[in-house]
Homo-oligomer: A and B are copies of this chain.
Amino acid sequence: MPKLGMEPIRKDALVKATITEIGRTGSLDVTVSQIAKRAGMSSALAHHYFGSKEDMFLAAMRHIMTIYGAEVRGALGVAQTPMARIEAIVVASFSAANFRREAVGAWLNFWVLAQTVPQAKRLVAVYQRRLKSNLLVGLRPLVGARAEAIAEGLGALIDGLYLREVLRPGAPDGAAAAQMARAYLAAHLADAP
């Protein structure tokens, strides 16, 4: 039954299955067979398309970051004021697409992976740089030199909210998390210039 042009479809299915499986179990200790099974194929085929399990992990990381990046870019595109730019980033960070169990669970595990795999570390570094840079563009017109420290803090707060989400019972509450980030901002903007 081999239809041609399966490669992108299979790869996509595997990437999604990887995220699902890591998020579901909350661990990088998932077998290639588990992932392949969830993606509806044999483990041998998974190895055929991705050379190794590590490659699957990296592709899954890139996928998460791509989604996140696209959403941020989209929201940023329609932001007119500095304040709106920051708000756009906050909203995107805690949107339903990004701030969901699976994705957050996978994200945390990728952070851990970054301690072992240089490629993964680079990916996280890219995420951090972009986030900071995006925040700075919005913050500088508002607070000048203080922007640096505020961006750093807001970045850490967002990561911390992700981290905590992982262990929270019940459905994720992106709105509450976003509110927390906004409060951080409001406080810092109101503070002495």
Interface residues of A, Cβ cutoff 8 Å to B: 25-27, 29, 105, 108-109, 111-112, 114-116, 121, 124-125, 128, 149, 152-153, 155-161, 163-164, 166-167, 180, 183-184, 186-188, 190-192
Contact = CB atoms under 8 A, between A and B. Distances in A.
29 contacts: A25-B116, A27-B112, A27-B115, A108-B111, A108-B112, A109-B112, A114-B167, A115-B166, A124-B167, A152-B180, A155-B164, A156-B157, A156-B161, A156-B163, A156-B164, A156-B180, A157-B157, A157-B160, A158-B160, A159-B160, A159-B164, A160-B160, A160-B161, A183-B188, A184-B187, A186-B191, A187-B187, A190-B190, A190-B192
Contacts of A149: 180, 183
Contacts of A180: 149, 152-153, 156
B26 A116 contact: yes
Contacts of A29: 29
A26 B112 CA distance: 7
- Among A152, A156, A159, the one with the most B-chain Cβ atoms within 10 Å of its Cβ is A156
A188 B190 CA distance: 9
B163 A163 contact: yes
